[in-house]
Amino acid sequence: MDTFEIGDQDFLLNDRPFRILSGAIHYFRVHPDLWADRIHKARLMGLNTIETYVPWNEHSPVPGSFVADGGLDLGRFLDLVADSGMHAIVRPGPYICAEWDNGGLPAWLFTDPTVGVRSSEPAYLAAVSAYMESVLDVVVPRQISHGGPVIMFQIENEYGAYGSDKAYLQHLVDLSKRLGVDVPLFTCDQPFGTMIEDGSLPELHKTGTFGSRADERLAFLRERQPTGPLMCAEFWNGWFDNWGTHHHTTDAAASAAELDVLLTAGASVNIYMFHGGTNFGFSNGANDKGIYEPTITSYDYDAPLSEDGQPTAKYFAFRDVIAKHFPVPAEVPAARPSLTASVAAVSRSVPLLSVPPVTQLVPGPVPPVEITGQYRGFYVYEVLLQGGGVLSFSEVRDRAQFFVDGVPVGVLSREAGERTVVIPRGGRLQVLLEDQGRVNYGQRIGEAKGLIGPALLNGVEVVDWEIGAVDLESLDAFHDAALPFPDGDPAHAGVAGPSLSFATFEADGPGDRFLRLDGWTKGNAFINGFNLGRYWSRGPQRTLYVPGPLIREGANELAILELHGSATREVTFAVGPDLGPDEK
């Protein structure tokens, strides 16, 4: 049986020095029918290992569950890595950051305010233990010592940037070993201050995360770990985007030069990201360092392999660097196939609020949305107001549209710090609340979403709200209620919001598409019921990636959840991605 160990200066594969050349692919951000393609292209760039996080909240959407099929079939993903002749590194958190909703921590966990966050608090540890048992049921049989691809297993994730609870880290170590992990355990932290010491334990192998000044970062790491192989566990070769900013890119030649420095120094590396993928549905995270900044749908990351799996200039620059140090396969990936642009037009629509969610009356102050048992997406608050005036909240998390008897009266945005809206008169107040993504980094992890009280109308608290979650897992109820647009409407008539509109388009068969929504404002788009993610006219991204396996031969259905209104009923399937202008 194969072995993988940490030696005095090297990783040792079957007792021989081995350099890890890894690339990050998050299986949960890639359509499962495309996993093998992405893994193969990593091997063609010269990599020998695939690294992935494991998102707890995705696998456990409700307490007591662990979903591990379809796009969450971690076992199948690892088996495909093995089939490609590559090794695997698994990083299960329980916190992963990753610009992922709540940093991967389940929102349901924090509905009990006494539960700790990333600490040795007992209720938190109990939940973590149950999660890790499920993960390790998949991972342990796939360790290299069992004939599988897994060579390393990470404890927590950049914990030194958050805390220094050694009992918590020791619990994760003891739990992992008790459940059968026998490959090396490691931690990763930024090489600054005391983060490496705070985020690890003496028995764990320490690695660094950085994207520049490699010599300096490696020297910092070596000072704190005199023996063992050097490794950059996240070589940041790109970056992520927030709504309303530019598309972040990094120079391919400069990134390749830094990679060359790493490899020349004898270090191992994990390229973060090799292939970024997509924040489908409502899975994106957010940052909040005084200003709330939700992450966009695309997680292209300016990675060597683009969001739709195509080699970039950075791919070939990295491949050339790797070839200076190690053998690289002769085969190279093909370029993106040529596509033909096409147009589709929505033909039927239904107001979103005309298909009301199942609501519950919550006596007392305005409640957070978690009371509904749904932890992502959209919610509706309702209350009867006897008169108008100034309505205020302590905070809005994250974006609220206000309607009185169906008439829009205002929008409050967390990004803008807005907390007050003028209600013109009494009547039935409805609030459509959008959770734009839970904070994935820092001290606001685990916070509640919704209208944060007290809710005051002219200084008097408004109580006894009804609240319900908008169910978008199936669009059947909206589809059944949708009506055709009136005959004789102008050719360029728009769509009122909030609404769900439907279009049918034909396809010859599966194949990637890029949905462009010029003239639409904000919302989500769905292909054959699959939630592609959020769009927003503020950019930067202008297209949504449609993975080819979602498209079927013959008739396909596009659904658009538009929150405000559009200037058109048409959308375009573009010939390629448009992630917006960069800062150059």
CB 152 within 8 A of CB 182: no
Residue 349: CB atoms within 10 Å = 22
Q: What angle do CA 41, 45, 49 make, to 5 degrees?
A: 80
Residue 123: CB atoms within 10 Å = 12
Query: Residue 122 class from Cβ within 10 Å (0-12 exposed, 13-18 middle, 19+ buried)?
Result: exposed
- The two structure tokens encoding residue 294: 């939700």
Which residue in this structure is represented by tokens 């300096």? 216
Q: Which residues pair with 560 in a beta bridge?
A: 501, 525
Question: Which phi and psi (to 5°) does residue 513 adopt?
Answer: -140, 165
Query: Residue 363 class from Cβ within 10 Å (0-12 exposed, 13-18 middle, 19+ buried)?
Result: exposed
Alpha helices, H only, 248-397: 252-264, 313-325
Q: By C-alpha distance, which of 379, 353, 367 is closest to 111? A: 367
Q: What angle do CA 353, 354, 356 make, to 5 degrees?
A: 65
Q: Which residues pair with 80 in a beta bridge?
A: none
CB 88 within 8 A of CB 49: yes
Helix 214-224 to helix 252-264 angle (10° resolution) is 40
Q: Is the Cα dihedral 149, 152, 156, 162 positive or negative?
A: negative
Respond yes or no: is residue 418 known to be catalytic: no
CA 140 – CA 362 distance, rounded (Å): 45
Catalytic residue among 51, 99, 156, 158: 158
CA 571 – CA 573 distance, rounded (Å): 7
DSSP labels, 76-88: HHHHHHHHTT-EE
Respond yes or no: is residue 331 known to be catalytic: no
Dihedral over alpha carbons 370, 371, 377, 378 (to 10 degrees): -140
N-terminal to C-terminal alpha carbon distance within the chain: 52
Q: Which residues pair with 49 in a beta bridge?
A: 22, 87
Beta carbons within 8 Å of 535's beta carbon, 6+ residues apart:
297, 517, 520, 522, 523, 524, 525, 541, 544
Catalytic residue among 51, 99, 156, 234: 234
Q: How many residues are present in the chain?
A: 584
CB 390 within 8 A of CB 422: yes
Which residue in this structure is represented by tokens 């355990």? 185
Q: What angle do CA 86, 145, 129 make, to 5 degrees?
A: 100
Looking at residue 198, its amino acid is: D
By annotation, the residues acting in catalysis are 158, 234
